[in-house]
Amino acid sequence: MTATFRALTLTAALLGAPSVTLAQVKADYVLRSTVENVKRGFISADTPPALKIKSGQSVRIDTISHGGVTEDPVAFFAQAGIPADGVLDDVKAIAKATKENGWAGHILTGPIYVEGAEPGDMLEVRILAVEPRVPYGVNSVGPGGAAPAILKDRAQRTIKYDVKRGVVMNAPGVETPIGPFMGIMAVAPGDPRRIGSRAPGPYGGNMDFARLQAGATLYLPVFQPGGLFVTGDSHAQQGDGEVSGNAVEASMTPTLQFIVHKGEGKAMAVPYAEDAKYYYILGMDPDLGVALTHAVEETVKFLVAKKGLTPAEAYSLCSTAVDFAVAEAVDQNLVMYGKVSKSWFKAKTPYWTK
């Protein structure tokens, strides 16, 4: 399926930002982030589908960041000069529901039921676009994360960004490249059927993998009929590691295409990803060193199965050419990844050709 593009003008005048133009991808369906279509803090195989689609179809999904979703988000963002009508109506409604229902944690939109997906299959998730819904997000720093002794008190900062120029205004005189992506993309787990949203796992989840931007693809093993895909924890920007415990937490609208591959999930221990230039092979464990071991093991398996190398050749390549890095070091189950360049292989595999 070839994506069709059209121009979308997002006016952010209420927030004191210039008008910006985003590339919006035409989708087969739209899924809104209403109170009925979101859950907080968990991923469950028993959550009824918010939408049913066929393999090959695409969905434009509104998501809400948990950053700033306090008892009074209007008052929270007013501290940064953002007016009440600059706060998403979804945020106001979900904040009210949170107060009434005791919800907490990540806000996840879905699930999406993909017809034909069964346990043992693989779900390919093509990331066609990730569009900011507002030009600001929240980052919280304090006594936690990968270096918990740096700060004694916690501070929450509203950070603005300029989509048109592609920069985040991190601090006075400091602008860094924007990089919107979804921190959580997951299918429903197998056993147990319900898990908290903080720790990632074989089902995907809170991987906080910043390479999963528009143009990338995530591959997930399927554990439940329909897959039951959810997404949330959207970010405007994050460095590898997410070392303070969170990124620029900001509401986004991803457009995703879902393709079922029959029987290809049976041998998958963890998800993996790719884009036009690289394969990204993941490893997970509560111990970062063990996560690295798993990432190396999975990279060797990938090179043997997909590229025809011997185990000795693959392990050698891991040491001589593959870069291994930290995706996230803060979410209970930590994530390392190997970065394998497609340019190394004479045999080329077409990417997103249909």
Average pLDDT for 65-72: 89
The share of the chain scoring above pLDDT 70, in percent, equals: 92
- Domain co-membership, 216 together with 336: no
- Domain co-membership, 256 together with 293: no
**The domain containing residue 119 runs over which residues?**
27-261
Neighbours of 197 (CB within 10 A): 24
- Domain co-membership, 213 together with 237: yes
| pLDDT the model gives residue 70 | 85
Q: Nearest 5°: phi and psi at 189?
A: -75, 170
| pLDDT the model gives residue 23 | 52
Asked which of 211, 239, 261 is the last residue of a domain, the reply is: 261
DSSP 15: G
Residue 11 confidence class, pLDDT cut points 50, 70, 90: very low
| pLDDT the model gives residue 100 | 66
Note the pLDDT tens digit of each residue in 12-66.
332 333 233 345 678 999 999 999 999 999 999 999 999 999 999 999 999 999 9
- Domain co-membership, 82 together with 208: yes
pLDDT of 3 above 90: no
| pLDDT the model gives residue 282 | 98
d(CA 339, CA 354): 25
Residue 182, domain CATH: 2.60.120.580
Asked which of 239, 261, 283 is the last residue of a domain, the reply is: 261
| pLDDT the model gives residue 4 | 35
Average pLDDT for 234-260: 96
Average pLDDT for 321-340: 97
- Domain co-membership, 128 together with 180: yes
Asked whether residue 9 is domain-assigned, the answer is no
- Domain co-membership, 198 together with 313: no
- Domain co-membership, 153 together with 296: no
| pLDDT the model gives residue 97 | 86
Average pLDDT for 324-345: 97
| pLDDT the model gives residue 6 | 34
- Domain co-membership, 219 together with 292: no
Pairing of strands 334-341, 278-285: antiparallel
Asked whether residue 354 is domain-assigned, the answer is no
Mean pLDDT, the chain, rounded, equals 91
- Domain co-membership, 94 together with 213: yes
Asked whether residue 12 is domain-assigned, the answer is no
| pLDDT the model gives residue 102 | 65
- pTM listed for this prediction: 0.91
Assess contact for 219 and 281: CB atoms under 8 A: no
pLDDT of 278 above 60: yes
Asked whether residue 292 is domain-assigned, the answer is yes
Asked whether residue 308 is domain-assigned, the answer is yes
- Domain co-membership, 304 together with 222: no
**Spatial CA neighbour of 303 closest among 341, 258, 335:** 341
Asked whether residue 351 is domain-assigned, the answer is no
Into how many domains does the chain fold? 2
Asked which of 261, 295, 320 is the last residue of a domain, the reply is: 261
* Structure tokens, 323: 């870069």
Which of 153-162, 300-309, 345-354 reaches the highest mean pLDDT? 300-309
Note the pLDDT tens digit of each residue in 92-114.
999 888 766 667 889 999 999 99
pLDDT of 136 above 50: yes
| pLDDT the model gives residue 5 | 32
| pLDDT the model gives residue 9 | 34
Assess contact for 299 and 282: CB atoms under 8 A: no
> Scanning the structure block, which residue is given the tokens 């819904």?
133
- Domain co-membership, 142 together with 285: no
- Domain co-membership, 31 together with 91: yes
| pLDDT the model gives residue 7 | 32
Asked whether residue 350 is domain-assigned, the answer is no
